[in-house]
Amino acid sequence: MSVYNIYRMHKILVTGGAGFIGSNFVRYIYRNRPGWQIEVYDKLTYASDKSSLIGLEDRVSLTVADICDENSINEAVARNDLIVHFAAESHNDNSLASPWPFVNTNLVGTYRVLEAVRQYHKRLHHISTDEVYGDLSLNDPSKFKPDTPYNPSSPYSSTKAGSDLLVRAWIRSFDVQATISNCSNNYGPYQHVEKLIPRQITEIIEGRKPKIYGTGDNIRDWIHVEDHSSGVLTILDKGKIGETYLIGANGEKSNKEVVETILELMGKDSKDYELVNDRPGHDMRYAIDASKLNNELGWQPKFTDFKKGLQATIKWYEANRDWWLPQKNATEAKYKELGR
């Protein structure tokens, strides 16, 4: 059995490490664990960008492969000590238009990762989402807790819920050494322009109006992506095998509030947005109770000023037009077809 010890040098495999959160985690580990070798394992789908890993080549390698490919994932797991599994199809709107890649990557892919860590006795951390719990109503005082029953709404969230259940079953049935985290909505640099915050920032940069689904009263619980990364490292360092931890930073905001703040920070009239077609089955509210991670593992978020974090994110998109522009037209063409 390979035992994870924070004081030892490690080889860490990061699936989905060329995506938004995975690449942030790779940069975070690169800075905070100078002795570690990092292997990114990524299929490089439309959602990835290997340029997010530039400058890290001395300790970060990239394997371009699919987690559903049994031989490749087995070999990659065998040559590492720790596996952090971010790879997934991640966008709800895409899952409504075309569910199969979600079933394949999120369920079959996670199954392949689990079989590999079982065979080679490696420590796994599985990355998941608060969406597995379904949604809360606007006037409900409660928040999601680790024992909240699963009740996912979309093809995306149901495949993530299924992947969590596979991990739980492999822990119980096969003694796989794994932990799970369910995090709320992330924001920050390198997020694909299909997601709410980058879409609206780049629409404004392009001289168009932000687009809010439905009434805009839906609430998401925002966390800076670097706080997600620090939460995951805390779980690797101190988490108890078999446990689920919720990662969140008390960042509840309605979509309208988020878009109005972006408009204001970009010097526009805060009401200058369009209300567009709603997302089918649109979850109303997410809210995370992270007290288990706070109290048992001593983790706290650092980026607690949402407006400041948003301002820095806007600056990043303004300064990195070359990074997002190649994806922008294709993304907007897809939204146009949906009337969103």
Q: For residue 20, what are its two tokens? A: 């938004």
Beta-sheet pairing, 37-42 with 11-15: parallel
Instruction: Name the residue with tokens 């079953």.
Output: 169
State the binding partner of 67 from ligand NAD, ligand DAU, none, CB within 5 to 8 A by kind. ligand NAD
CB 87 within 8 A of CB 43: yes
Helix (H) or strand (E) holding 14: strand 11-15
Is 156 one of the annotated active-site residues of the chain?
yes
192 is a contact residue toward ligand DAU (CB under 6 A): no
**In the annotation, is 66 catalytic?**
no
- Residues 252-281 contacting ligand DAU, CB under 6 A: 255, 279
Phi, psi for residue 233 in degrees, rounded to 5: -65, -35
Give, as ranges, the residues between 60 and 99 that touch ligand NAD (CB under 6 A): 66-68, 86-90
Identify whether the C-beta of residue 73 lies closer than 8 Å to the C-beta of residue 81: no
Q: State which of residues 12, 26, 56, 109 lies at the interface with ligand NAD (CB under 6 A).
A: 109
DSSP letter at 106 equals I
Among 14, 18, 212, 232, interactor with ligand NAD by CB under 6 A: 18
Binding window for ligand DAU (CB under 6 A); candidates: 97-105, 110-118, 193-201, 310-318? 193-201
> Please, what's the largest Cα pairwise distance for the chain?
59
Among 185, 234, 244, 255, binds ligand NAD (CB under 6 A): 185
* Residue 187 contacts residue 310 (beta carbons within 8 Å): yes
Stretch that binds ligand DAU, among 76-84, 86-94, 266-274, 322-330 (CB under 6 A): 86-94
- Inter-residue contact 266 to 208 (CB < 8 Å): no
Catalytic residues: 130-131, 156
Binding interface with ligand NAD (CB under 6 A):
15-16, 18-22, 42-45, 47-48, 66-68, 86-90, 105, 109, 127, 129, 160, 183, 185-186, 192
